[in-house]
Amino acid sequence: MITLTDVDALRRRCDDARRDGHTVGLVPTMGKFHEGHRALMRAARADTDLVVVSLFVNPTQFGAGEDLAGYPRDPDGDAAVAAAEGVDVLFSPGVDAMYPDAPRTTVHVEGLTARLCGASRPTHFDGVATVVTKLFSIVGPCRAYFGRKDAQQLAVVRRLTTDLNLPVTVVGVPLVRDADGLARSSRNTYLTDQQRRAATVLSRALRDAADALHDGERDAATVVAAVAATIDAEPGVRLDYAELVDAATVEPAARVDGDQILAVAAHVGPARLIDNLGITTHDGAVETDLGVVVEEQLA
Ligand code: AMP
C-alpha cells in the first residue's frame, strides 16, 4: 500500500491504472476505521483492481459548534487496517491540499438535503457533496463505495453523480452493526458504557418497526409514532427525528410503499447518532433491511 497526500499524484496513479486496463475503486472516509469502513474496503477489493481509500476529515461538512476539532483520528491505526484489507492507495491529504484557496464553488443538491439530517445540520450536505465531487474529479472514472448507514448521504451522492454526469458508479454497501445492534460509527467512541447501552434503543425501535411492517402495518404516521415513542422513553436519549422517506428523493411518505428508508437520529451524551431501516415493497409484500451484524472487534 502506498500513502499519497498530493492531489496530482493520486490523479496520475488512477490515470495510469486505467491506461493499463485496470478498474479503480474509491472508498471516501473520514478515518478512525471500524467494521463499517472495512466492509466498504472489502467490497471495493472484491470488485476493482486499484482500491483507493481517501481519509480526510472534511472541515466544510462540520457546522459551527460541531465536533470537527475533537473528531476521532488514528492515522497509524487506519493505515494498518487499510493495509490489512488489501487497499492499494491511502489518500490522506491535508486541508491545504484539498482546499488550497478558500473555495467559492459549492455543490448543492436541492431538496434531498433539506430534510432529516439537513434540517438540523443545514450546511452539512453541501460540504459532503462538494468534497465527494472533488474526489470523483481527482480519481476519475471509478466505482465509489458508500455505506447505507448514511442513507441520506447515499441518496445525495447518487443524485449529484447523475445530475453532473460524473463517470462514477455509486455502490451502496449494507449497514454494519455491532452485536448489541448499535450501528458502527466513529462517533461511538464518544459514548460511555451506559450511554452505549442507551443508544441501542435506536436499533431496537427500528427492529420493532420492521416487525410491525411484516405484520402488515402500512401507515407511516403509526410506524413513526411507535419508533419515536420507544426512543423518547429511553433515559439519556434525545430524539432529533424519526421519518419515513423515499430512498431516492428523501421526500416524506404517508404509506409504506416502494423503496424507502425509516430514518432516525438522536443525541446520546456528546454524540449525535443516526440509524435507518431499509424498506422495499413488491406487490404488497414488504422486505426490510437492517444491515449485517459483526461481532469482531477491532484492536
Ligand atoms: P465516515 O468515515 O463516517 O465518513 O464514513 C465513511 C463511509 O463509511 C461512508 O460511506 C459511511 O456510510 C460508511 N460507514 C460508516 N459507518 C458504517 C456502518 N456502520 N455500516 C456501513 N457503512 C458505514
The residue whose CA is least distant from atom 17 of ligand 1 is 36
Identify whether the C-beta of residue 157 lies closer than 8 Å to the C-beta of residue 133. no
CA 90 to chain centre: 19
Phi, psi of 180 (to 5 degrees): -80, 5
Give the per-residue pLDDT at 284: 86
Q: How many helices (H) and strands (E) does the chain have?
A: 10, 12
Calculate how far, in angstroms, residue 91's C-alpha sits from the geometric centre of ligand 1. 17
Cβ 147 under 6 angstroms from ligand 1: yes
Identify whether the C-beta of residue 28 lies closer than 8 Å to the C-beta of residue 51. no
Give the per-residue pLDDT at 299: 38
Identify whether the C-beta of residue 17 lies closer than 8 Å to the C-beta of residue 88. no
- Give the number of the atom of ligand 1 that is nearest the alpha carbon of residue 145: 10
Report how far residue 139's alpha carbon sits from residue 89's, in angstroms, rounded to the nearest whole number.
11
Give the per-residue pLDDT at 296: 60
Give the per-residue pLDDT at 297: 52
**Residue 146 identity:** F
- Give the number of the atom of ligand 1 that is nearest the alpha carbon of residue 291: 20
Cα angle 166-244-163, degrees, rounded to a multiple of 5: 15
pTM of the predicted protein model:
0.97
The residue whose CA is least distant from atom 18 of ligand 1 is 36
Mean pLDDT per 10-residue segment, the chain (299 residues): 98 98 98 98 98 98 95 97 98 98 96 96 97 98 98 98 98 97 96 98 98 98 98 98 98 98 98 98 95 72
Residue 255: how many CB atoms within 10 A of its CB?
13
Report how far residue 202's alpha carbon sits from residue 265's, in angstroms, rounded to the nearest whole number.
8
Cβ 39 under 6 angstroms from ligand 1: yes
Cβ 247 under 6 angstroms from ligand 1: no
Q: Is 37 a catalytic residue?
A: yes
Candidate of 26, 29, 66, 188 to mutate for ligand 1, largest count of ligand atoms within 8 Å of Cβ: 29
The residue whose CA is least distant from atom 13 of ligand 1 is 147
